[in-house]
Structure 1
């Protein structure tokens, strides 16, 4: 497979590289008792409690998916759920101290992890090119 990489279209190379980076990051998160969805949910509640529906909307997932994610975060001690005093039918999700510590540690690790660019001679240029590629796709 790797011997014909030179002939691969750029899109396939980018897609494969993205999957490899994503798999490595998911492995790191799993080692800390998190999933990507859990990290995104923690990010959403890091500033303060929100309803499960608000978190699901912010994460662009279904309420059911977020319910499972929040259950995992709660079992792991990273979040708590309480009844919303303004509407007793709604649950508010709050990050715990240990959840916040883990969230900050993962964000810092994500910012400083050189693994995806360790083999690149100029990581800043690669990053700039990727940013431009994403920006152009959003236009």
Structure 2
């Protein structure tokens, strides 16, 4: 199956994936947010397939800073669902690849601590996974 993604589609995927890592980093504000962002971004850069080619570039043109975690979540969580919907329509295997890539990235971001992630990180990961599965 051939997948055709326009520039807006690619931006949606990048915003969703890198936004998920940014959310994890923001949820770790009291811990090691820079390390969480680094580990999550490395996981995204290690993606393969169509998803890997799209995520090879960080998102440009979309603000992932946000004035609060809530504002960032309002932007990123719908983008995750939109990315999954888009990919499921065109290539279910790539949708699975995208989902797995994002989950690996948020797990990498959460593992910057020894032992279990904090309740805040675990809750953010749950919200991200729910957004992925809402499609």
TM-score bracket for the superposition, by shorter chain length: 0.3 to 0.5
Q: Which has the higher contact order (CA 8 A, sep 6+)?
A: 2
TM-score between both structures, scaled by the size of structure 2 = 0.36
Relative to its length, the structure with more strand (as a share) is 1
Relative to its length, the structure with more helix (as a share) is 2
